[in-house]
Amino acid sequence: MYDWNELRTSRSLSGTFFDETLRDGIQAPGVQLPTLDQKLEIIDLMYQSGIRSADLGFPGSGPAALAECLELSSHAAGYPAITQAFAGRTHPSDVRAICEIGQRVGTPVEAYVFIGVSPIRQYVEDWDTNFLVRSIRAAGEECQRGGADFVLVLEDAVRCSPEVLAALYDTALDVGVRRLALCDTVGAAVPSGTAALIRWTAEYFATREHVVALDWHGHNDRGLALANSLVALATGCDRVHGTVLGVGERAGNASIDQLILNTWLDDAATDYDLMALSAYCDYVSASLAIEIPPNYPAMGRDVFKTSAGVHAAAILKAHEKEDAEIKDLVYSSVPARFLGREQEIVIDASAGVSNVRYWLATRGLEADDAAVLEVLRVAKSRRQPMDDNDVRQLLENL
């Protein structure tokens, strides 16, 4: 096959993903909060999927949260390859709680310390740039004292002016920040804006000869979280945030499973395991009591199903060639077999003869032309697809 995707104008989708499911994800309204045991299992599943960095919680929100975060950190320490991070405001108490985890568990932790920086947030909070600078400096100094790696998280950075960002970046330089997270907190960015902000930020630090790794954290209010996150990867961010199934506040976050899928499709030699990722999505769906939409990319119930007769004819011919790869790709860009799935042909009002013949072929059955046409006649008279029992019963009664 020819692949226009290879004629790229920017780098490939290289980078790592930062799993926010246990922090930002479970803040989503209406989700069922997972138990501690379920959270421990989520850490196991994220590791099995190939995810190597995660936000494990918000320990500064209270004693119970701190105690749970200590349990999660101790469990995650069994996977030394996982970079542990915890979220907190620039408040000294939040930062101290994160540092305490690293000290008590005896493991390196990253303090993802956030503060809102856009003019609208400053107006609402009665903040000014001097306040932001003081808060960032204090948080950085607290991290230094407590032994946590300081990651500066700029909330609503996509709606912040270059002048304010420059003042905050200068402060980041002063306190020795080595990682900076740019946030599209309300999902306001479009891909061109995402690229512009990242390039401007990278150039700002490059001209000052200060190496800073960049994160991207995006929300989905405009339906652009995935697109923006892929642009962020291609533009230079080495760590992009997401949650399983895109769960999160309002319209949700970027979907980490879709990010992984696209990275895997870009380079199947990555360490991500799509089969494990599918199990991870199913587990989060059950633990948080959220349904996976039937048409959800790669993980939805119906995404490898087709009923159109033209599509069914091509998939049947591919099946007859006994080539699993061709069968997977003739009418899909996502290979179902790597997710433990297969192409499915539905027999309904849109079906053609090939739909019925494929159904028979994949079950080792045969039927004459008259029987095939009768199944098709019945299917076209119904408002719902025929299931296996419907087809078998009809054939038996002919």
CA distance 368 to 347: 17
Q: What is the 3-state secondary structure (H, E, C) of 304-370?
A: CEECCHHHHHHHHHHHHCCCHHHHHHCCCCCCHHHHCCCCEECECCCCCHHHHHHHHHCCCCCCCHH
- Give per-residue pLDDT as tens, 160-210: 999 999 999 999 999 999 999 999 999 999 999 999 999 999 999 999 999
3 pLDDT more than 90? no
Region 30-53: mean pLDDT is 97
Region 34-61: mean pLDDT is 98
CA distance 300 to 154: 34
Tokens, residue 248: 């999160």
What value does the mean pLDDT of the chain take? 95
Answer yes or no: are the C-beta atoms of 216 and 248 closer than 8 Å: no
What residue segments make up the domains of the chain, in order of their start?
A: 11-287, 305-397
Task: Provide CB contacts within 8 A for 250, sequence distance 6+.
Answer: 186, 187, 219, 220, 221
- Give per-residue pLDDT as tens, 287-327: 999 999 999 999 999 999 999 999 999 999 999 999 999 99
122 pLDDT more than 70? yes
Q: Taken in order 349, 354, 357, 358, is the CA torsion positive or negative? A: negative
Distances (CA, A) of 351 to 220, 267, 329, 348: 36, 35, 20, 5
**R_g of the chain computed on alpha carbons:** 25
- Give per-residue pLDDT as tens, 368-377: 999 999 999 9
Task: Provide CB contacts within 8 A for 12, sequence distance 6+.
Answer: 234, 266, 267
280 pLDDT more than 90? yes
105 pLDDT more than 80? yes
Tokens, residue 222: 């405009």
Tokens, residue 192: 């061109």
78: exposed, middle or buried (Cβ count in 10 Å: 0-12, 13-18, 19+): exposed
6 pLDDT more than 90? no
Tokens, residue 68: 């749970």
CA distance 297 to 285: 15
| pLDDT for position 12 | 61
Q: Please tell me what DSSP assigns to residue 63.
A: H
The helix/strand/coil state of 264 is helix
Phi, then psi, of 89 in degrees rounded to 5:
-75, 175
Region 88-103: mean pLDDT is 98
Segment holding 397, helix H or strand E: helix 388-397
Please provide the size of the chain in residues: 398
Q: What's the predicted TM-score (pTM) here?
A: 0.93
The percentage of residues in the chain with a pLDDT greater than 90, rounded to a whole number, is 92
Region 109-124: mean pLDDT is 97
CA distance 75 to 159: 38
| pLDDT for position 38 | 98
| pLDDT for position 267 | 79
121 pLDDT more than 80? yes
Q: Class of the 11-287 domain?
A: alpha beta
9 pLDDT more than 70? no
| pLDDT for position 7 | 65
- Give per-residue pLDDT as tens, 213-238: 999 999 999 999 999 999 999 999 99
Residue for token digits 């230079």?
Answer: 236
367: exposed, middle or buried (Cβ count in 10 Å: 0-12, 13-18, 19+): middle
CA distance 179 to 201: 12
Name the residue among 232, 244, 223, 240 with its Cα closest to residue 201.
232
332 C-beta neighbours (distance < 10 Å), count: 15
